[in-house]
Structure 1
Amino acid sequence: MITDPEGTVLALFACFCRIGACMMVLPGFSSARLPMIVRLLASVAISMAILPVLWDIIYPRVSGTQTAYIQLVFTEFVIGTMYGLIARFYVLGLQFAGSVLSMAIGFSAPGAGDILEDAAENQLTNLISFGGLMLLFAMDFHHMVFRALIDSYTAMPLGGIPDSQKMLITLTDTLVTTFKLMLRLASPFIIFGLMFNFAVGLINKLAPQIPVFFISTPYLLMGGLFLVYLSIAALVRQFAEFFPSVFIGS
């Protein structure tokens, strides 16, 4: 029996602010293809499942503190958004690697509808980003995020004022680490594109009358797609395997 209905509702909503803010930007859950009502109900369900675990931490902070409840909601929203952005930046890094990869191998097809979002995106980038996200879900990355959210109540207690400088440093470090990792994953294609175009440039110097760059484009694309065929499995596997180190390290 609930002896304090008002305190229970306030505790549930405080938990929902951190969980819901994280799911609002979390890869996969924040997809434009997922209806808003589904995201809302999933956030409420997860909040109700987590609340009994955190009851002794959340309830004493919200009972009898209605005057500062607006500040508490705002800080919880900021903390949850930060945890979700760490994972989102990492997935956006794979889209960046896919764009670099497509440009390096000369795959310049018109953008089509993105599988995850409403923006237009290259088909090859769509394939790589969707494959990487699907592998993350297969490896239960969302369980890791929710576990980190539960542990965050110890690192960032409920009702406290989060350190904005540390949060910005965390997001900046995530961007730096993600950029270096994605550049390393796309490096074989960058090297292939540079070497191919350098060789074509030398051939063009020897035979300037022939439009070598127009003739060489199909060979660049064919070689690049063959390289993608050989390495795409290793690319998305390494992307998924490095997620724990990036997320926990941040």
Structure 2
Amino acid sequence: MLETPLLAAFLAFCRIGGCFMVMPGLASARVPLQVRLFAAVAASLALLVHLWDLIAPHVSTKPGPLLILIASELAIGALIGLVARLYLLALQFIGSAMSMMTGFGMNGGATIEENEQQPALGAIISFSALMLLFVLDFHHEIIRALVASYRLAPIESLFDPRSALTDITDTLSDSFFVMIRLGSPFIAYAILVNLAIGFVNKLTPQIPVYFISLPFVITGGLILLYFAIGSLLGLFADAFFPLFSGT
């Protein structure tokens, strides 16, 4: 019968497609919907050969149990992709904060990953980090996590909201500490430079020092970024894989 293989392939597509739907890079607004669909279908068919024994025995032809399995597989796949996306969103947040600290946060510009406007400096950092992750084959890590998820979260055990909430909370917590480390030089720079400008403005109230200091603040921020961008992206990539592997 073709019913069981088709349902097994569709259940595999639900988990893998749910992950591809929200994972960074592939779920970008700049990637056509057809490309995402075909990538998910191709990955599902390729992995189904290796996951057949873990999926096929639990396929149900009854509408009620089948709908529950479909919803569970979509939720599990979306959770795996969301873990990676939350980490990149944390970088976008600290990138926007760094833009404001260095004087670049006034005007938003077009972004590559999202539809929302983002400061130019934050967009450069976010896109560079995403490109670095693809160079380091982070998409292979996600596919590895999808394969491992069938043993950690078997198809018959269904979606566990408590475990999912724990994973999301741990991801947000770890991402926060990593991003604080990455943005700490710019936070210290913003505090020191604004404090110095404030003192100078108090000493010479006749001159609007604070309003003419923006070019100097931007120049100092660019110099700091020039020396820090390599270490920043390296620390970002080094912290991604242990964080994602832990899920």
Q: Does the alignment reach a TM-score above 0.5?
A: yes
- Which is further off, 67-76 or 42-51? 67-76
Distance 2:198 2:107 in 1: 26
Distance 2:130 2:105 in 1: 23
Partner of 1:20: 17
- 1:141 aligns to 2:138 (yes or no): yes
- 1:95 aligns to 2:92 (yes or no): yes
Distance 2:97 2:227 in 1: 17
TM-superposed CA distance for 1:11, in Å, is: 0.3
- Contact 1:87–1:247 (CA under 8 A) maintained in structure 2: yes
Partner of 2:178: 181
- Which is further off, 93-102 or 10-19? 93-102
Residue from 46, 50, 59 that aligns with 2:47? 50
What does 1:207-226 align with in structure 2 at a 5 Å threshold? 207-226=204-223
Question: What CA deviation, in whole Å up to 9, does each residue of 1:54-93 have, x standing for no partner?
Answer: 0111111115555411000000000001000000000111
TM-superposed CA distance for 1:222, in Å, is: 0.4
- Which is further off, 16-25 or 205-214? 205-214
Which sections of structure 2, spanning at least 5 residues, go unmatched? none
What does 1:1-250 align with in structure 2 at a 5 Å threshold? 4-62=1-59, 64-250=61-247
Question: What CA deviation, in whole Å up to 9, does each residue of 1:190-246 have, x standing for no partner?
Answer: 100100111111111211111010121111110001111111111112111111111
Distance 1:26 1:168 in 2: 18
Distance 2:217 2:44 in 1: 51
Distance 1:199 1:124 in 2: 24
Question: What CA deviation, in whole Å up to 9, does each residue of 1:96-149 have, x standing for no partner?
Answer: 111111111111342111111211111111100000000000001111111111
- Contact 2:18–2:78 (CA under 8 A) maintained in structure 1: yes
Distance 1:112 1:206 in 2: 37
- Which is further off, 83-92 or 197-206? 197-206
Residue type of the alignment partner of 1:178:
S
TM-superposed CA distance for 1:162, in Å, is: 2.4
Q: Give % identity.
A: 47
- Contact 1:21–1:81 (CA under 8 A) maintained in structure 2: yes
Residue type of the alignment partner of 1:125:
G
Q: RMSD of aligned C-alpha atoms?
A: 1.2
- Which is further off, 100-109 or 143-152? 100-109
TM-superposed CA distance for 1:159, in Å, is: 2.6
Which sections of structure 1, spanning at least 5 residues, go unmatched? none
